[in-house]
Amino acid sequence: MQIREFQQLVSQKYEERDRQRGVPATFMWFIEEVGELSTALAGSDEQNKAEEFADVFAWLCTLANITGVDLEKACRDKYWGENSVQGYK
């Protein structure tokens, strides 16, 4: 699955409701999931870690959808090719 395919899947399932919720409330849900990932990373349950990573990515896709960002393109533009960033900041 490509990033764009997953973002579209999230859009098909949730975008109408997410747009109604709005960016600030959706961002708060995203942050809650990041907190759950933080807790999972401190533990030893590998399945829980994987699930929390998936949740964070899904909520990130949701935010991208409701703000009009193509995540695959954004990642490609920033990290792939001759004009890409040569490392994390």
Listed by start position, the domains of the chain span: 15-79
Distance of CA 30 to the CA centre of its chain: 8
pLDDT along the chain (89 residues), means of 10: 96 96 97 98 98 98 98 94 62
Q: What global pTM score does this model have?
A: 0.88
3-state secondary structure the chain: CCHHHHHHHHHHHHHHHHHHHCHHHHHHHHHHHHHHHHHHHHCCCHHHHHHHHHHHHHHHHHHHHHHCCCHHHHHHHHHCCCCCCCCCC
Q: What is the pLDDT of residue 18?
A: 95
Domain at 15-79: CATH code:
1.10.287.1080
Q: What is the C-alpha R_g of the chain? A: 14
